Amino acid sequence: MAVQIETLKKVKNGLDVLPDLYRYARLGFDAIPEDELERLKWYGLLHRKQTPGFFMQRLRIPNGILSTRQMRAIVSISREFGRNTMDLTTRENIQLRWLRIEDVPEVFQRLQNVGLTSQQTGLDNYRNVMGCPLAGLHHDEIFNAAPIAQSVSLALLGREFSDLPRKFNITISGCSHDCAHSRANDIGMTPAAKEINGYRMLGFHVALGGALGGTSPQLGQDAGIFLTTEQALPFCRAVLTVFRDNGSREKRTESRLKWLIREWGMPRFMAEVEKVFGQAFFSAGESLLIEHSGDHLGIHQQQEAGFVTVGLLVPVGRTNAEQMAEIADLADAYGTGELRLTPDQNILIPNVHETCLERLLAEPLLQVLQPHAPGALRGLVSCTGRDYCHFALSDTKELSLQVATELAALIPAERRVDLKVSGCVHACGQHHVGEIGLQAQRLRLEDGTIVDAFDLFVGGNHQQLATLKARKIPVDQLAGRIAAELAAMDGE
0.85 exceeded by pTM: yes
> 3-state class of 287 per DSSP?
strand
User: Residue 348's closest CA among 63, 111, 58?
Assistant: 63
Cβ(339)–Cβ(116) under 8 Å?
A: no
Contacts of 480 (CB under 8 A, 6+ apart): 410
Q: What radius of gyration, in Å, describes the C-alpha atoms of the chain?
A: 22
Low-confidence stretches of the chain (pLDDT < 70) are 1-3, 292-293, 492
Contacts of 3 (CB under 8 A, 6+ apart): 250
Q: Which helix (H) or strand (E) holds 170?
A: strand 170-172
Could you read off the pLDDT of 276-294 as tens digits, one per residue?
A: 999 999 999 999 999 766 7
CA distances from 489 to 83, 474, 482, 486 (A): 43, 22, 11, 5
CA distances from 109 to 12, 116, 201 (A): 25, 9, 42
CA distances from 40 to 32, 36, 112, 123, 344 (A): 10, 6, 17, 9, 28
The per-residue pLDDT for 338 is: 98
- Phi and psi angles of residue 397, each rounded to the nearest 5 degrees, phi first: -65, -50
The per-residue pLDDT for 2 is: 56
Which residues have a catalytic role annotated?
Answer: 58, 166-167, 423, 428-429
Helices H, strands E: what count in the chain?
Answer: 14, 21
- Answer positive or negative: Cα dihedral of 333, 336, 337, 341: negative
Cβ(257)–Cβ(211) under 8 Å?
A: yes
How many CB atoms lie under 10 A from the CB of residue 317?
A: 25
How many CB atoms lie under 10 A from the CB of residue 266?
A: 15
- Phi and psi angles of residue 249, each rounded to the nearest 5 degrees, phi first: -120, 15
CA distance linking residue 86 with residue 166, whole number of Å: 26
Ordered DSSP codes for 405-464: HHHHTTS-TT----EEEESSTT-TT-GGGSSEEEEEEEEE-TTS-EEEEEEEEES-BTTB
Cβ(382)–Cβ(395) under 8 Å?
A: no
First-to-last C-alpha distance (Å) of the chain = 49
CA distance linking residue 409 with residue 14, whole number of Å: 49
Ordered DSSP codes for 361-420: HTSGGGGTS-SS--HHHHT-EE---TTT-TT-SS-HHHHHHHHHHHHHTTS-TT----EE
Cβ(81)–Cβ(350) under 8 Å?
A: no
CA distance linking residue 186 with residue 68, whole number of Å: 31
- Phi and psi angles of residue 399, each rounded to the nearest 5 degrees, phi first: -70, -40
Cβ(177)–Cβ(292) under 8 Å?
A: yes
- 320-324 own/partner pairs: CB under 8 Å, 24+ apart: 320/78, 320/84, 320/85, 320/86, 321/75, 321/78, 321/79, 321/82, 321/84, 321/85, 321/86, 322/84, 323/365, 323/368, 323/369, 324/71, 324/74, 324/75, 324/78, 324/86
- Answer positive or negative: Cα dihedral of 30, 32, 37, 43: negative
How many CB atoms lie under 10 A from the CB of residue 7?
A: 10
CA distance linking residue 96 with residue 77, whole number of Å: 8
> 3-state class of 114 per DSSP?
coil
CA distance linking residue 135 with residue 130, whole number of Å: 11
What SS3 string covers 202-225? EEEEEEECCECCCCCCECCEEEEE
Q: What is the DSSP letter of 129?
A: P
User: Residue 146's closest CA among 368, 196, 138?
Assistant: 138
Contacts of 29 (CB under 8 A, 6+ apart): 53, 100, 101
